[in-house]
Chain A
Amino acid sequence: MFGRSKKISEGLTRTRQSFFGRISGLFGAREINEELWEELEELLILADVGITPTVEIVERLRERVRRERVRDAQTVREMLKEELRAILLSPRQSAADGQLLTVILVVGANGSGKTTSIAKLARFYQQQGKRVILGAADTFRAAAIDQLKIWGQRVGCDVISHQPGADPGAVVYDAIQAARARQADVLIVDTAGRLHTKYNLMQELKKVRGVAAKNVHLAPHETLLVLDATTGQNALSQARHFKDSVEVTGIILAKLDGTAKGGVVFAIARELGLPIRYVGTGEGLDDWAEFDADVFVNSLFD
């Protein structure tokens, strides 16, 4: 647990320095006044937390400060931590337990980072001694299959694929058969990037999910939505649509190594009850960590 916490800490260093570092700075030895609240609001908005959640968080904090007669900014800082932590749900146990074959469906918008995240997730399970197989169900985008195959080679796991343009459902079916034949523990399915507003593409995704559900008991055991940390408020709409269509169970927050803060996950957790399961922090295979709400919020304030 400690090792993992440390990794998240490292991954978030930049985030912390740029954003929450400033929030921390706000709460030095200073009094609580209007200026403080305004700065706080600004910082939350700049972190993509979104205007509505920001106003609510700040209001709740103000109310508490008034009620509990808080006088110093340091205590306000602790309270903000609590508020933010309370919004993020603790993730569920890893899904790869208790069944013969765990099927994980990875979905998301174009360019959010699905393929890279899948490679890292495969590595993550391999390190736990699991045998992993990848299913290349993005048969649409040019060279998507090649991209996954290259990652498969790097990670050292088999990739089940068809020709470009093939039916993604058929790929999933074959991948399940192959996973069983090769006695794999985990099958991770890469799907084509799609905008959540494309009705037909979302229907197709439902079908892909249906193939997994029909052929493996209780599958997919996890359906992970990959979100680009750079994405603003539209991430909420994305998460809502994907959840409605394919029952997303958790979020992978990718590209957290830039200067973007990914604050929209607060709104996603609050409104949709979706936990953040993993964070991607770079292009390397090990730039990856399990998400932990406590560690996350604490790291932000260190």
Chain B
Amino acid sequence: MKATILAICALVGLVTGYFAAPIASYGYLRAKEPDMFGAFLFFLVDNEIACNCQNQPPNESLKTVKNSISILQGWRNQNPNSQMLAQEIGLAQVRLSRVEEALGDEAQAEEGLNAARIELAPLGWKDLSAAHLIALTTQLDSEYRPKKENKEVASLTAK
């Protein structure tokens, strides 16, 4: 009888541990490899801008981009030296400016571009003209597609 109860306890432990493993791994990676974990969050925000803004009316896009910028800025407060975050915030500011221009708010659009320039100039970007930044983000957005597991090596010579 005692052996059976003991075996049941061990079995319950085995099952619990088995199902707890993904959560434990998630916590472990979050603590031990914050850069890798940060990439996951970064990807989510990036996708939100690229994925949602293409199919939303300007009013909705405005909310999405503003929300994403505030998330990125929150992370930047934790990682003030991250140039990747600075670049992403700069590009998001350009997207915000495009949306504001679509809504007819020229002053806000210009302000957005200036905010982008403030982010991108310290990164050494050479061409900070409105035309270039808008064309660049339009090109980057047009390349958005859902994540593919395996990139084709052939793409190396494709363009």
- Same assembly: no
Which B residues lie at the A interface, using CB under 8 A? Answer: none
